[in-house]
Amino acid sequence: MFRYDFYPPGRGNGFIDYSDDEDLDAAENLTELLADQTDLADFIGFGIVQENIVMGDTENTESSDDEFEPSQDVVENSDSDFLVDTSEDDQQMDLDTTIKSLESKGNEASSSGTSSKSVEKRIIDDYDSNDEEDEIVRKILKELKKPRLKPQNITIEDFPTDLSFHPVENILAVGTVMGDVMIYKYTNEENIILSSHEVHTKAIRDIEFSLDGRDIYSCSRDKSIMMTDFETGKLKRFWDKAHDEPIYTLTVLDENLIATGDDDGTVRLWDTRIRESSPTFSLKEVEDYISCIITNNQKKLLVCLSGDGYVTALNIGSKKMFVQSEPYEEELTCGGIFRNESKLVVGSSKGNFYTFNWGEFGYHNDAFSGPVTPISLMLPITERIAITAGEEGIIKAMHLVPGRVLGIVGQHSLAVETMDICNDGEFIATSSHDNDIRFWNIKYFEDFDAINYNEKPSKKASKYNLPSSLHANRSDFFADLA
C-alpha cells in the first residue's frame, strides 16, 4: 500500500549505493567507452559526453589535467537527485584516460584552423551498435543517438497524490493531499498552471479524465466522489458518503460508468445517468483494500486486486462474483492487460509478477520475479511492455510476456507515488514524495515490440539505462536490476 494515507512521505531514504555491484565486464566495448565520466559537464541520456571542439587558431584549447579533475569522491547528480559513489581507483583511471583523449582531440581540431564554429561530438556517436550480439542492446544504443525532448519538471507546494493526462489535449490534472485539483498545460518549453480547484476536504486518492476529456472524476479519503467540468471547474455530480470507508481507487469504464474500491474491500459501480446517489451494485468479496480495478473492451468483467492477495473478477451484468483466485501471500498492488487483452499481469508487494489468461483468474499460468522491492504501479505502454515503479524510486521498463527487465526509464530520489501516460504515448509523468512531477520520453518503445524475446535473456541488456533515463555515470548506468 503506497498511497499517502498509508505510507507517509519519507519512507524511502533517497540514497542508493551501487558501489558493491558485481563486476559487469567493464573492459568490454561499450562499457569501456562510457565508464565513469562523472565530473564532465553536459551529459546527454546516460554515459554520453558532449565534446565541444572550437575550430580556429584564435583560441588556445590547451588545458591542464587539473581543470578536469573531480572535486570530490561523492558527486551529486542534480538532475536525478541521486548520490553516487565514484571513489574507486579504477574509475579515476578511466576518467583520466578519457580526459586526455578529449584534450588531444580538441588540440588537433584547434590547430586545423578552418572554422570558428562549435561542433558537438558525442562518444556514443562513434560506437557501432551492430557490434552487439543482443538485439535489446542494439535497439537501446540506436535510440540513444536520437534527440529526446520532454517537458520540464513541475514542483508543487502540496504533495501530489495522483495525476491524469487529458485524452486529447496537452493537459495534466494533478490531485493533491489537500483535496485540490490542479490543471497544467505542458509543452517542451514551459508548463503553465491553468486553474486550481478546491474539490475535496481530504486527500485525493485517485483522479481520472472522462473518455472525452470533458469531465474530471476524483475520489478521496473523505469517502466522496466528484465529477467536475474540466473547462469551467464547476461541480457536475457529487456522491457524498459514496463508501463507508475511504475510497482507494477509481476506474472510468466508459462514458457513463465508473467503478470504485475502498480500504475495506468494497467495490461499487456507478452510472452517471442515474440521478440518485446510489450505486448500480455494491459487492464486498475481500477483507482488505482494493488496489486496482481493471476491465477490457468488452466491459463484462471487473477484475479487482486487493491487499489480502486475491484476484477477484465481478460480472457486471449479473452483479455477482465471477471467480476468485487462490490467495497469494503478498499484497497484489497493480496490474495491466497485454497481448490483445488475452493476458492479465499482476504485480505484488514482494516484487513478483503473475500472469493469468483473461477469464481464467483462479491461478496464474506464469510467474517471474522483478525488483526485490515492492511494486506499486504498472503502466502498459505496448502489447508486451509495461513501465513499473514503486518504493525504490526507480522507474523500470519490463517486457512482461514473457518476463524480462529491459532497463531503467527514469528515477526519483524517493518512492514513486503516481504514474500516467499521455494521449499520444510519447511521455509518461511520475510523481514522488519530493513533490516533483517528472516527464520521461518513451516514444522509442514503439520499436521494441517486434524484438524476439524468447531467446535467453542477456544479463548485459538488463543493465542498460534506456534513453529517457537521467542516470549519467557508470554506477547508475549499471544499476543492479537482475
Query: In the predicted model, is pLDDT for residue 246 greater than 50?
Result: yes
Task: Give the model confidence (pLDDT) of 324-379 as tens digits.
Answer: 999 999 999 999 999 999 999 999 999 999 999 999 999 999 998 877 789 999 99
- The pLDDT score that the predictor gives to residue 408 is 86
Task: Give the model confidence (pLDDT) of 194-222 as tens digits.
Answer: 999 999 999 999 999 999 999 999 999 99
Phi, psi values for residue 166, rounded to 5°: -65, 140
Long-range contacts of 23-31 (CB under 8 A, 24+ apart): 24/460, 24/463, 24/478, 25/460, 26/90, 26/474, 29/127, 29/131, 29/132, 30/127, 30/132, 30/137, 30/141, 31/474, 31/478
Banded pLDDT at 143 (limits 50, 70, 90): low
How far apart are the C-alpha atoms of 309 and 298, rounded to whole Å?
A: 25
Q: Of 18-32, 97-111, 257-271, where does mean pLDDT reach its minimum?
A: 18-32
Query: In the predicted model, is pLDDT for residue 102 greater than 90?
Result: no
**C-alpha separations of 433 from 1, 246, 253 in Å:** 14, 21, 29
- The pLDDT score that the predictor gives to residue 11 is 33
User: Which has the closest alpha carbon to 2: 333, 431, 292, 304?
Assistant: 333
- The pLDDT score that the predictor gives to residue 141 is 63
Asked if 386 contacts 400 with a C-beta cutoff of 8 angstroms, the reply is yes
- The pLDDT score that the predictor gives to residue 278 is 93
**CB atoms inside a 10 Å sphere around CB 147:** 8
How far apart are the C-alpha atoms of 7 and 330, rounded to whole Å?
A: 17
- The pLDDT score that the predictor gives to residue 478 is 31
- The pLDDT score that the predictor gives to residue 383 is 87
Task: Give the model confidence (pLDDT) of 392-431 as tens digits.
Answer: 899 998 888 777 888 888 889 899 999 999 998 899 999 9
Element of type H or E holding 217: strand 215-220
- The pLDDT score that the predictor gives to residue 135 is 65
Banded pLDDT at 139 (limits 50, 70, 90): low
- The pLDDT score that the predictor gives to residue 376 is 94
How far apart are the C-alpha atoms of 38 and 475, rounded to whole Å?
A: 10
- Cell numbers placing 371: 525488483
How far apart are the C-alpha atoms of 383 and 58, rounded to whole Å?
A: 56
- The pLDDT score that the predictor gives to residue 80 is 36
- The pLDDT score that the predictor gives to residue 434 is 87
User: Which has the closest alpha carbon to 85: 21, 164, 8?
Assistant: 21
How far apart are the C-alpha atoms of 132 and 135, rounded to whole Å?
A: 8
3-state helix, strand, coil in the chain (%, to 5): 15, 40, 50
How far apart are the C-alpha atoms of 154 and 138, rounded to whole Å?
A: 33
Q: Is the pTM of this model over 0.85?
A: no
Asked if 231 contacts 243 with a C-beta cutoff of 8 angstroms, the reply is no
- Average pLDDT, integer, range 50-59: 33
- Within 38-141, strands assigned E span 50-54, 74-77, 82-85, 118-122
Q: Of 47-51, 160-164, 425-429, where does mean pLDDT reach its minimum?
A: 47-51
Instruction: Give percent of the chain with pLDDT exceeding 70.
Output: 62
Query: In the predicted model, is pLDDT for residue 391 greater than 50?
Result: yes
Banded pLDDT at 457 (limits 50, 70, 90): very low
Query: In the predicted model, is pLDDT for residue 468 greater than 90?
Result: no
